A and B are shown apart, each in its own frame.
Chain A
Amino acid sequence: MAKITYIEFGGVEHVVDVPNGQTVMEGARDNGIPGIDAECGGACACSTCHVYVDSAWVDKLPAKEGMEEDMLDFAFEPDPVRSRLTCQVKVSELLDGLIVQMPERQI
């Protein structure tokens, strides 16, 4: 279980507990947090679950694979360092305290 803070583009914060093994995307979906569309449901096929990871957390997350990297290039206003696709980030105890911010829009 990890406590994750999702911050909407407008600044609204949502702090929720996400079970280990789920993805950061599923944590948002299952808690009704707006701003993460996840149209493909987590298949790394659509780039609509994009977030900016808080700078302090960038190096603590598992590294991006090539497919995620390429999809992110075409997300809405990606940040080369902080952008991630949340469907590719698996939750574990190590992510307890993670903070992510949603972009203005997904496409």
Chain B
Amino acid sequence: MTDIVIIGAGQAGASLAIKLRALGHEGKLTLIGEESSPPYQRPPLSKGFLLGEMELDRLYLRPLSFWEEQGVTLQIGEQVSSIERTAKTVRVGDKTIPYDQLALTMGSQPRCLPESIGGGLPGVYTVRTLADVETMKPEFHRGRHMLIVGGGYIGLEAAAVGAKLGLKVTLIEMAPRILQRVAASETSDYFRKIHTDHGVQIIENTGLARLSGDTRVTGAVLSDGSEIDVDFIVVGVGIAPLTLLAEEAGLVIENGIHTDELGRTSDPNIWAAGDCTSFPHRGGRLRLESVGHAIDQAETVAQNMLGAMVPYCAKPWFWSDQYDVKLQIAGLNTGYDRVITRKGDSESISFWYYKGDTLLAVDAMNDARAYMIGKRLIEADKSPDPAIIAELGTDLRMLLKI
């Protein structure tokens, strides 16, 4: 019977532990996390939880009793300082925990604004952990002015929460348009309009020069020289995989902890899953930042740690909630050369990304049907004629039969 240690108690770590037990692993199982909370869902942090529509205990992936019943030793609020690969141990404080197999699921951390421009001032927040959101939540009062730096999904979700709670919201984006890194201009246009309609001021093509304030942030100077007064700042400028521990242990890092298709790192006794990994995908390597990936890769790794040896095949999907819009994304749009628009009923619309004749991805707004069909088509490597997609009368379900 093997002893398994998992470092990182987020979605991937929790899914890995749950799956190992579900598959009948009876050895010692230890899940170590730096945060003081038991494993919880992150997506609601920037949506329902920040808005105050969801209580804390509903965030937990499993009740605390579950981990005990499953015989998982949950070591939360503890930090692993090193991995000794030769001895096959991990160091936590002054304790040494032995393992036969180790899994790394440390996730990622938000990029911060540089200290040199005032990024360290009180009143400047990032959105990643429960603690982050609990600290910033009291700032969300009607009438206050929130500046959001970064027009990606995290920034836009925070903007939606702020606008709904009656804050004055300004969002700046350095790129020519919001969502530029992740979506087509059609999707950017859609969300720009929704936010503007809700009173959010969106300033694109504009970065942050510096923040001002003595004891806490009070203002911001933008790259065009203009100055604004702010009450607090939310920074959403991307995340970076947490790889330091793996790097110090001498594992191969390549835009994340390098794994093979099974989820194994460059050490055969160490596996990795979730945000912190880069893995083989369609002839290249990929790192994905999503719940769906964290769950699927972790569950595949659990099987492989027990000897199944099945390759991980990523089926990327994402979602975002802003106001009463649910955005669902299937596939990855990297390399697209055109976007087909399909209008649904009054509230729904979807954008279909193609590279030549190949369907790569779908962004669906309040259109679960377009999302689900797009997802199935992409996973089956099927690409319908774009002209059919654009035609309003087409019953999308027929496409699954091609």
Contacts and interface: CB of A to CB of B under 8 A. Distances in A.
A26 B326 contact: no
Q: How large is the interface on A (under 10, 10 to 19, 20 to 34, 35 or more residues)?
A: 20 to 34
B373 A74 contact: yes
B362 to A, nearest CB: 13
A36 to B, nearest CB: 13
Given A30-B63, A67-B366, A67-B368, A39 B326 contact: no
B95 to A, nearest CB: 29
A14 B368 CA distance: 31
A89 to B, nearest CB: 15
Contact of B62 (A30, A39, A44, A71): A30
A73 B372 contact: yes
Interface string A29-47: 1101010000111111111
Contacts of B373: 74
Interface residues of B, number: 28
Contacts of B66: 30, 32
A40 to B, nearest CB: 6
B319 A43 contact: yes
Nearest to B18: A32
A61 B397 CA distance: 28
Given A67-B368, A73-B372, A45 B328 contact: yes
B368 A70 contact: yes
Contact of B326 (A22, A30, A45, A74): A45
A46 B317 contact: yes
Contact of B372 (A26, A34, A41, A74): A74
Nearest to A75: B372
B63 A40 contact: no
B275 interface: no
Contacts of A40: 43, 291-292, 319
Q: Is the interface of A mostly helix, strand, loop or mixed?
A: loop
Nearest to B376: A74
B372 A71 contact: yes
B369 A70 contact: yes
A45 B372 contact: no
Interface in B260-299: 291-292, 295
A35 to B, nearest CB: 11
B228 interface: no
Contacts of B369: 70, 73-74
Contacts of A26: 58
Contacts of A46: 292, 317, 319
A32 B62 contact: yes
Nearest to A107: B315
A82 B69 CA distance: 32
B69 A32 contact: yes
B62 to A, nearest CB: 7
A1 to B, nearest CB: 16
Pick the 10 closest A-B CB pairs, nearest first. A70-B368, A74-B372, A45-B319, A41-B41, A70-B369, A71-B368, A30-B63, A32-B66, A67-B368, A39-B295
Interface of A: 22, 26, 29-30, 32, 34, 39-47, 67, 70-71, 73-74
25 contacts: A30-B62, A30-B66, A32-B62, A32-B66, A32-B69, A39-B291, A39-B295, A41-B291, A43-B43, A43-B319, A43-B326, A44-B326, A44-B368, A45-B319, A45-B326, A45-B328, A46-B292, A46-B319, A47-B372, A67-B368, A73-B369, A74-B369, A74-B372, A74-B373, A74-B376
Given A41-B291, A43-B44, A74-B369, 17 more contacts: A26-B58, A30-B62, A30-B63, A32-B62, A32-B69, A34-B22, A39-B292, A40-B291, A41-B61, A43-B43, A45-B319, A67-B368, A71-B372, A73-B372, A74-B372, A74-B373, A74-B376
